[in-house]
Structure 1
Amino acid sequence: MSKEGKARGTAGSVWVPSRRNVLRAGLSLAALPVLSVITPRGAYAQSGKTTTVQGFETGADVAAAEKEGALVFYTHDSGAAAAAICEAFHKDFPKITARYVSLQNGSLFSKILAERGARRYEADVIQFSDLGTAIDFQNKGGYDDYHSPQQKYYSLDHLSHPAGHFFWIAMGFAGLAYCTDRVKEAEAPANWKDLLDPKWKGKLSVKQANSGMQFTEWYELRKLYGDSYWKEFAKQKPTAVNSRVQLFDRLGRGDDAVCGMAEWAGYQLAHQKKAPIKFVAPKDGLPSSPMANGIVANAPHPQAARLFTDWLMSLKGQTFYQENPYLYYGSIRKDAPAMPGGLKLNDFKLLVPTDMKAFLASRKQFNSEWNQMLGLL
């Protein structure tokens, strides 16, 4: 079921979940892999004249955006995260009321495709949790073509190919986590293969197949260890839940001993609440997924969509994404400050899909295998 809400000044929607990610383990940002399917070739062209407002440059007609008076943001993020984003934007632009739809990545994609198939155009801006979904949506003609003046602060490798459809708004990653009330540090899993130890049977948690990050983890660990890894993992009879909040709530209560899909930002929020959990960064690396954000074609509020996109891409928006407790994302922007605690993306080793054709082609296999493992097929 989708979560929808509004942000009007201090009102805003209050959704129980929280979330988000950042990243971990020693691959420098400059060394992030170039994704051949989406790497722009050549320079991008800025769309029209620009205006500076609220300390950032925008290509939107601000007066027209305020006259539109509304913005609809579709996101894979939690309701709490989406509400925080919409409220922050509304605070800077009080004449624009922001609403959101919050769904897991696969469900969000199905919703937007169904709406467009019925010629219902309700979303202005959409954010997906993995590049594969964003590229699929681009191939279906789902994005408007907008060249933000903020693009100059991003590597061409971190924009859609061709540029103008979407940008990498942030990076998310997942490692391991365990309940310190149930597991001693000396006995805790240190690497991905440690999850295959029979002692964890019936004590592990993961996410369901509609999670973009879970898909990325499946794909990257399959590359590292081969098909046999997930076949052995299936014997552990993991519990799957729908959201990151549920994963860490269960772990904190001791319902599960170990989480095999522990997203860093979700961990950070749970840790701040004094949950008895600890994060582990496996030395082989952490599956990582760039999140993609773009303006939807036929957006009902096109100028507000441009203004919102420029705000998200700006240093102001990216700092918000890094510092808000419902987000805690790592920014791809060239001049991004350190994250809370002084960490930057190049402090982490990231496992990012590089062959997007193979990544996209494996989605059906993942859905089938994952749902069979969970007893849903």
Structure 2
Amino acid sequence: MLIDKRSLIKGAAALAFAAGLAAPLTSARADTLPERFANLYEAAKKEGQVVFYTSYRQETSTAVLEFWRKNFPDVKLNIVQKQTLDLIPTIEAEKAAGRTNPDVVFISQRFILDDWKKRGYLTPYKVRDFDKIGGNYRDADGNYLATAATLLSAAYNPKVFPDPSVLPKKITDFLDPKWKGKIVFSDPRSAASQLTWFQTLLAHNIITWDTIKGFAAQDFLFTRGNAESVRLLVAGERDLSPLISSQNVVTAKERGQSIEAYILDEGVVTNENYLSIFKGGPNPEAAKLLIEVLTSAEGQEIVANAGSYIPTHPDAKTPAGLPKLADIKVIVADQDIGGDASQKFLEQFDAVFNRQ
């Protein structure tokens, strides 16, 4: 079911988080990945493995692992899977101990990669399709490349609101007293996406602390994460939210649950995920092969379908029900998430909401 077009940005395609995954990979490509990267594959075979630190969900890791085994059976893919905010201190601790364990890293915090670039942790490498991927989604020197994005958009229960035209159109519309006691929101102390959303909107002057004080008067029901917020919306315990991650909405809709997402007039914050090669990693040739594969259109489709991501490669098909990045007004999340700025935000946020 398509979302009411009145809720979309000017000229944007309707955003509908429909059930089901995207169609199979395109069959018109002239060569296979093993053929395209035959020389890299031969070099990687001599190393025999590649170590991948990633914040993928389990189903995404499983899909990538199966795809890799099928196409590159002579190079073992070793996946270390953690949340981004857990991966970062793990890598920092390993570097402090004089070790570089990963060959390739996939995380969602660009400012961390910029810091690692300055500290000489990363190996610049421009993949074959580097010039096809938009400048917003890559480091100019090739130190990192965004291959997947999620939307941090508003959501609601369509059983409660069969006519979506009555929904809030702007962030400040959620301050209307009629929404008091009806809003669910994940706690930015436990949900990184909510923390990203708040810090990004403040940095871009889209909201102010007065807006957040207005939220505090609306009797928000806080949850620990997006999955729980979805559950409460679907159950009818709350009716709408200014923010739920698109991954969770798509997953719920695939299960036939009653939830829809839509984009507010200000645009939508996107949470990009980046790939980078680590300097001094144990398998440098295999690292190049892995990052070539995961940044290719085929690789991005595998990840997008398994994890409900939006690919950044223009030739990669977007999963059903998700918009192309080019069709929406994107608010780039380029803030220091998880660092000192986040701690200061959370302290002020707790004070506004009178939380001890």
Where 1:61 maps in the other structure, the secondary structure is helix
Alignment match of 2:261 (pick from 254, 258, 279): 279
Contact 1:196 1:233 in 2 (8 A): yes
The alpha-carbon deviation at position 273 of structure 1 amounts to 0.9
Partner deviation per Cα, 1:303-326 (whole Å, 9 max, x = no partner) = 22211100011121122233x1x3
Alignment match of 1:213 (pick from 170, 193, 201): 193
Partner deviation per Cα, 1:238-289 (whole Å, 9 max, x = no partner) = 41324x4344334333454333321223212211211111212112211123
Measured in 2, the distance between the counterparts of 1:255 and 1:68 equals 54
Measured in 2, the distance between the counterparts of 1:258 and 1:116 equals 43
Where 2:311 maps in the other structure, the secondary structure is coil
Partner of 1:350: 330
Task: Give the letter for the 1:312 counterpart.
Answer: L
Alignment match of 2:344 (pick from 365, 368, 375): 365
Measured in 1, the distance between the counterparts of 2:355 and 2:102 equals 31
Partner deviation per Cα, 1:178-221 (whole Å, 9 max, x = no partner) = 23455664664443223334544474122544655333311333
Contact 2:109 2:273 in 1 (8 A): yes
Partner deviation per Cα, 1:124-166 (whole Å, 9 max, x = no partner) = 21112232232233233321232322323224443214x1210
1:229-248 equivalent positions in 2, closer than 5 A: 229-235=211-217, 236-242=219-225, 244-248=226-230
Distance change in 2, residues 1:224/1:139 (3 Å)? same
1:76 correspondence with 2:55? yes
Measured in 2, the distance between the counterparts of 1:287 and 1:337 equals 21
1:94-173 equivalent positions in 2, closer than 5 A: 94-161=73-140, 163-173=141-151
Distance change in 2, residues 1:209/1:296 (3 Å)? farther
My pick for the range that moved more, 290-299 or 63-72, is: 63-72
Measured in 2, the distance between the counterparts of 1:83 and 1:132 equals 28
Task: Give the letter for the 1:176 counterpart.
Answer: A
Distance change in 2, residues 1:366/1:149 (3 Å)? same
Contact 1:27 1:347 in 2 (8 A): yes
Measured in 2, the distance between the counterparts of 1:376 and 1:125 equals 40
Measured in 2, the distance between the counterparts of 1:375 and 1:116 equals 39
My pick for the range that moved more, 274-283 or 54-63, is: 54-63
Measured in 2, the distance between the counterparts of 1:209 and 1:188 equals 27
Task: Give the letter for the 1:308 counterpart.
Answer: L
Distance change in 2, residues 1:231/1:113 (3 Å)? farther
Distance change in 2, residues 1:255/1:106 (3 Å)? farther
Task: Give the letter for the 1:120 counterpart.
Answer: R
TM-score (norm 2): 0.77
The alpha-carbon deviation at position 344 of structure 1 amounts to 2.3
Partner deviation per Cα, 1:43-85 (whole Å, 9 max, x = no partner) = xxxxxxxxx8626644973234234333332223322222222
Q: Which runs of 5 or more residues in structure 2 are unaligned? A: 1-7, 13-30
Partner of 1:299: 281
Q: Which runs of 5 or more residues in structure 1 are unaligned? A: 1-23, 29-51
Task: Give the letter for the 2:324 counterpart.
Answer: K
Task: Give the letter for the 2:56 counterpart.
Answer: D
1:2-21 equivalent positions in 2, closer than 5 A: none
The alpha-carbon deviation at position 345 of structure 1 amounts to 2.0
Task: Give the letter for the 1:165 counterpart.
Answer: N
Task: Give the letter for the 1:273 counterpart.
Answer: R
Where 2:185 maps in the other structure, the secondary structure is strand
Query: Cα RMSD between the aligned structures?
Result: 3.4
Partner of 1:290: 272
Measured in 2, the distance between the counterparts of 1:249 and 1:144 equals 42
Contact 2:57 2:307 in 1 (8 A): no
Distance change in 2, residues 1:103/1:209 (3 Å)? farther
1:192-341 equivalent positions in 2, closer than 5 A: 192-198=171-177, 199-201=179-181, 203-209=183-189, 211-222=191-202, 223-235=205-217, 236-242=219-225, 244-322=226-304, 324=305, 326-341=306-321
TM-score (norm 1): 0.73
